[in-house]
Amino acid sequence: MINVYNHLIGYNIKPSVQRIAVMDYLLKHRTHPSVEEIYSALSGDMPTLSKTTVYNTLKLFAEQGAAQMLTIDEKNVCFDGDTSLHAHFLCKRCGKIYDLPISEPMKETLESNIEGHSVDELHYYYKGTCKNCLEK
């Protein structure tokens, strides 16, 4: 089990009660939650928590590299506590987002310069129908 306090320190983020709670939620719930989902889940136990605090915390996490901000869905911004290099798949039927592995040639792209540009981030998004919806 990951120590959330040390995890945040590792990303140069000063731990607070709210930041620890939000990161803990992200790491335990691999569902690519939105600000609203995280707020709804945590606000019952943290009455002083606001949506603005959750949003600002997630924005800080993304800026420091502790979480990924996903814009795969045009309507919602979602967040992923898994910062390893991987792709995302959005099911157009159920709306779930799944993690997908990335092949070695794709990983090599991140470690190179493209036409003189230095690549810092890579986002692979796929959209379609997930296997669960296809089976229904």
The pLDDT tens digits for 14-72 are 999 999 999 999 999 999 999 999 999 999 999 999 999 999 999 999 999 999 999 88
Looking at the predicted structure, is the pLDDT value of residue 108 above 70? Answer: no
The pTM score is: 0.84
How many Å separate Cα 131 from the centre of its chain?
A: 22
Rounded Cα gap, residues 104 and 108, in angstroms:
6
Would the pLDDT of 110 be above 70?
no
